[in-house]
Amino acid sequence: MFMQILFDTLDYLNLMLAEYVNWYNNIRINSSLGYITLVAYRKIIHKKAV
């Protein structure tokens, strides 16, 4: 089930989308990555590759 939201303006939609992407990448923890965020995981992987 998905929430349907009507956005008043395209600018407001862009703002909400940017906030969601920020949450998804920087705040949301992922159990398959060891309960860390995607950004933290990418930093770890980058350090191993260097």
Q: Is the pLDDT of residue 1 over 90?
A: no
What pLDDT sits at residue 45? 93
What pLDDT sits at residue 36? 97
Check if the beta carbon of residue 32 is closer than 8 Å to that of residue 19. Answer: no
Distance CA 26, CA 5 (A): 23
Q: Which three-class secondary structure state does DSSP give residue 18?
A: helix
Q: Is the pTM of this model over 0.85?
A: no
User: pLDDT (tens digit, 9 = 90+) per residue, 23-32?
Assistant: 999 999 999 9
